[in-house]
A and B are shown apart, each in its own frame.
Chain A
Amino acid sequence: MFDWIQNIADWLVYDVLNLNKGQHLAEALNFFVYDTTKILILLFVVIFFMGIVNSYFPIDKVKNYLSRNKLYGLEYLMASIFGAVTPFCSCSSVPLFIGFVRGGIPLGVTFTFLITSPLVNEVAIGLFVGLFGLKTTIIYVVSGVLLGTISGIILQNLKLECYLTPWVKEVLVSAQREQDIFQAEKQTFKQRLPIIWTEVVKILKGIIPYVLVGIAIGGLMHGYIPEDFFEKYMDKDNLLAVPVATILAVPMYSNASGILPVVQVLVSKGIPLGTAIAFMMGVVGLSLPEAMLLKKVMTLKLIAIFFGVVTLCIIISGYLFNIIL
């Protein structure tokens, strides 16, 4: 499907620039041209498609749906899937959290949503398809959704309400299952399209620098680091590799678009996919800026428990990945 891009990259590097196959610089450049072109095309398609989905899929509806219907445990899975299809600006995490609590949604279900939403997002999906193929993408999405679901169920059973900050506890007590009827913005597709389009352009503009830096780092690693460099330290038999990769990742922060090209190269250099994905999920899913925001609604203890449970689940899914693949 992407052969033609490879041909362009080959032509540009080997014919136009007249570099020799096998040269470090040539390999790095070839990787950069090929990956950049492919990823930008994919990003554009996926972000545009998700923009349409999002325009019709407002968060208020989700909250109302979850609070109005009895779902016998399925609400965790639903919240997780909703989380995957609705990206939100990380600064919205606190208002979202309160909105859910106020709507009478159990804490665990709310956590599920908060976990899956940054973890599985449209940009990451687009990049995953391009870098690792469809099968790995499906595994990534499914494991991300399950991770949110399972973490949410665990957190619910830990009975954490007492660790919320006082004013959130008040909200919790007075949660009244508000039946605020959702007021959809009444717009035709034609009216929505320019809004969606501006949003797409804005998102692309925002992430392209990260993607380019990521691919450039990836390209350099690809061209200059010997094939078995990482394999020596992080192969499948090294049981410590997954937890070490995950724990190293948590204080780092980047969005999926910046980190994925690097992950791709780590994999091509011999790091098992499960270890690499655990690393990525740690970087994207848990971050210090997010913890700072959550401090407004949770005590430090609760944030620590929240991060701890999610870290544990990421590590477990990393191991599972390594076993399955």
Chain B
Amino acid sequence: MTKVIKILGTGCPKCQSMTGIVQDVVSENNIDAKIEKVEDIMEIMKFNIMTTPALVIDDEIKIKGRVPSKEEVLAFLN
């Protein structure tokens, strides 16, 4: 099943580096996933988080406020 990965962030450097890491992990491991970048603050607030960047996989918040390592992201996706 295709996973839906959302990256919540207003566009700061940390958010961009999270996006890069997630994209790398998905393409390197041929994971069937759709990556969405959520930059609209109103949309972000619906997830009830206070620190960005946040990583949401299939509507579940996995990480907030920090940039994860590739290994962490891979573990969430497997």
A interface residues (Cβ-Cβ under 8 A, vs B)? 58-60, 63, 88-92, 94-96, 98-100, 102, 167, 171, 178, 180, 194-195, 198-199, 202, 293, 296
Mostly, the B contact residues are loop
The 8 A-B residue pairs with the shortest CB-CB distance in the complex, in nearest-first order: A99-B50, A91-B12, A91-B10, A92-B51, A96-B50, A95-B50, A92-B52, A98-B45
Given contacts A89-B14, A91-B9, A293-B10, contact A99 B48 (CB under 8 A): yes
Q: Does B31 count as interface, using CB distance less than 8 angstroms?
A: no
Closest to B44 in A: A95
- Are the CB atoms of A94 and B10 closer together than 8 Å? yes
Contacts of A100 in B (CB 8 A): 50
Q: How far is the CB of B53 from chain A (nearest CB, A)?
A: 8
Q: How far is the CB of A60 from chain B (nearest CB, A)?
A: 7
Q: How far is the CB of A137 from chain B (nearest CB, A)?
A: 27
Q: Does B1 count as interface, using CB distance less than 8 angstroms?
A: no
The size bracket of the interface on B is: 10 to 19
Which of B41, B44, B67, B69 counts the most A-chain CB atoms under 10 A from its CB?
Answer: B41
Inter-chain pairs besides A59-B51, A90-B12, A91-B11, 5 sampled, C-beta below 8 Å:
A88-B65, A89-B52, A94-B41, A98-B45, A199-B66
Closest to A167 in B: B42
Q: Does B57 count as interface, using CB distance less than 8 angstroms?
A: no
- Are the CB atoms of B65 and A59 closer together than 8 Å? yes
Q: Say which residue of A59, A88, A91, A178 sits within 8 Å of B15 (CB atoms).
A: A91
Q: How far is the CA of A178 from the CA of B50 in the complex (A)?
A: 14
Closest to A100 in B: B50
Q: How far is the CA of A98 from the CA of B51 in the complex (A)?
A: 11
Q: Say which residue of A89, A178, A194 sits within 8 Å of B12 (CB atoms).
A: A89
- Are the CB atoms of B50 and A63 closer together than 8 Å? yes
Q: How far is the CA of A88 from the CA of B12 in the complex (A)?
A: 12
- Are the CB atoms of A60 and B15 closer together than 8 Å? no
- Are the CB atoms of B48 and A180 closer together than 8 Å? yes
Q: How far is the CB of A110 from chain B (nearest CB, A)?
A: 11
- Are the CB atoms of A95 and B12 closer together than 8 Å? no
- Are the CB atoms of B69 and A95 closer together than 8 Å? no
- Are the CB atoms of B66 and A95 closer together than 8 Å? no
Q: How far is the CA of A96 from the CA of B52 in the complex (A)?
A: 9
